Structure 1
Amino acid sequence: MISGLEELQLATIILVVVAGFAAGWVDAVVGGGGLIQLPALLLVPGISPVQSLATNKMGSIFGTTTSAITYYRRAHPDLKTALPMAGVALAGSFGGAIVATVLPSEVFKPIIIAALIAVAIFTALRPTAGTLTKLRYTGARHFGTAAGIGLVIGFYDGLIGPGTGSFLIIAMVAMLGYNFLAASAKSKIVNMATNFGALLFFLPSGALLWGLGLILGLANMAGGYLGARMAVTKGSKFIRVVFLLVVAALIIKLGYDVVQENILGNQGA
């Protein structure tokens, strides 16, 4: 097992930096950066899956914090909705991380794939969805729906993770009525909380690789800052296109995982 950076080769560090930057950019625009970052960490020689998960969360929290601040300064998201949603999501993420230690994520992957396909169809067939903010609810019903979204998707982030930002965005577009830009801005605040919730669980375990995590975090910050600026500048239509591309990649990746797990299961039977 590696304990820091002293055993890593330059090529491995470059891989982590490039993956962290790309993941930060994708996360800032639509979420789903874990598709890039976590597999890259798993390629690091000598790293365990738990170390990968913990270090991934550390890197991600740098990126989501940077993009959340950038969105706040440029798009001014409604904190009355985002902050309570983030608090509930943090608790959900911590709970999901606990469940992840006793329940294999493979149980949920087919369900997640079906949900992603539904999301992709909804977004593709409704080109006007997310172009304008038309809130569906007001008052307690609005905040209750937002809290429910935060709890469920926060739990998912702690349990599995990939695509959390994408799920947050589409839930806020479809269920609350925000446009893609407003939803993306709020999702970064919520995603920052879910990363922190999972990290709270991993910290006492000693699984976090601090040196690698700091390098990953700095790269994630750079990508997150650039992605947030581009999203604010180009607006909801740009976010919608990138969103569909990332959701398609998530479907392919998780579908491939399920097929591989079934093949390995059959071979071991």
Structure 2
Amino acid sequence: MNFQIRKQIILSAVELEGSVEVKELAEKLQTSEITVRRDLAVLAEKGLLFRTHGGAVKVSLAKDPVTFANKAATNYASKEHIAQLASQQIVEGDTVFIDCGSTTFLMCQFIRHLSIKVVTNSLPVVNELMGSSVQVNIAGGELDAKRQAIHGVMAIEHLKRYKVDKAFIGVDGISLKYGLSANGEKEASITLAAASIAKHVYLLCDSSKLEKEKYFRFAPLSLIHTLITDQQAPQEVLQAYKQAGLQILS
């Protein structure tokens, strides 16, 4: 079955049901889940649907620009590339932190088979890794329904009780002059807590966020060790980050 036929079946299912799951689509299309994920990525890039943690939803059901579904759909191909690079840094036996970002979430599909421990504040990460080889530890605290994440004082206290080998975090902006910035204090506080318990901190950040400054500046570049970005990132910017002491993967 070629892509055009699969496309019509997928879009019809989304329109009829409102939301679809990768596993169900794979069975309906008689193809692999990897193929379905790629198809959904293409359709999301064209604005025909919104990607979610386990499948997709119709555009009209994801109107709020700050919902997880919308964030996951933006720059999907670049985010998946970054997530795959990040996943390659994990080995059997690792204990890692994965934050609630839409890019870090995409790591799940690449690590489900690994015997590792994942500490997270992300509900989509928990749902995606449930039933896999991964042992999951979720932070307790206050639920942010739009971000599908746990925040607050108790979540920070929870994280600080652990030690992880690697932390995979995201930000809303990064720049040489101002360091790391976020759209709010809640996500920044979780990022700082995660960095404090990790031996190595990886920042997953697509090129649209490079040299951008957001509402709340919360940490210098030295908080992170490795920046993982996409191949569209300007080389002169990446070179400047290297000179500032960051390792770069792209």
TM-score by length of 2: 0.28
TM-score by length of 1: 0.27
Between Structure 1 and Structure 2, the one with more helix by share is 1
Between Structure 1 and Structure 2, the one with more strand by share is 2
User: Which of the pair has the greater relative contact order for Cα pairs under 8 Å at 6+ separation?
Assistant: 1
